[in-house]
Amino acid sequence: MYGDEATIRKILTELGDTWAVVGLSSNRSRAAYHVAEVLQRFGKRVVPVHPKAETVHGEQGYASLADIPFEVDVVDVFVNSDLAGTVADEAVGKGARAVWFQLGVVDEAAYDRTRAAGLDMVMDRCPAIEIPALRQEGAGPALADPNIMTG
């Protein structure tokens, strides 16, 4: 498993509230769109990163991580595994504090490189699934919203 419960909790509750979501577009049929909604309800600022640089959920999009003109705490990756390692390396270069590879996104070498660079990392997990689990544990006031998953 690539992300123990302590690391998941730390990323979701301690490492900061600005999440760059790589692969997030205005396409409502994509998982990234809905996970970004959950993150926003959880109190996170969601920054779309997609070649189209679209505004999504009220946040200005950027074509790449390097184009974001402010600090990013967590990079959430919704690209296929073949591209994910490059994104993880860009996250390290950007100065992010953590990288999160979504369900089905696996690159063990990128995981090792990212951890070796000092970042926390979770791979093959989804924050929209992990947030309700934290809610059940009572992990803070932002989790008290009963509509976090139902919108």
pLDDT tens track, the chain, 151 positions: 577 899 999 999 999 999 999 999 999 999 999 999 999 999 999 999 999 999 999 999 999 999 999 999 999 999 999 999 999 999 999 999 999 999 999 999 999 999 999 999 999 999 999 998 886 665 544 443 444 443 4
**The pLDDT of residue 4:** 86
**The pLDDT of residue 52:** 94
Which residues, in sequence order, are bridge partners of residue 120?
Answer: 98
Report the distance separating Cα 114 and Cα 85, nearest Å.
9
Write down the H helix ranges in 14-139. Answer: 31-41, 81-94, 108-116, 127-137
Q: Which residues contact 114 (CB under 8 A, 6 or more apart)?
A: 88, 89, 91, 92, 99, 121
Report the distance separating Cα 137 and Cα 151, nearest Å.
20
Cα→Cα distances 75→19, 25, 36, Å: 6, 15, 12
**The pLDDT of residue 148:** 42
- For helices 31-41 and 127-137, the axis angle rounded to 10 degrees is 30
Structure-token match 């070796």, residue found: 116
Total-model pTM: 0.89
DSSP notation for 84-107: HHHHHHHHHHHT-SEEEEPTT---
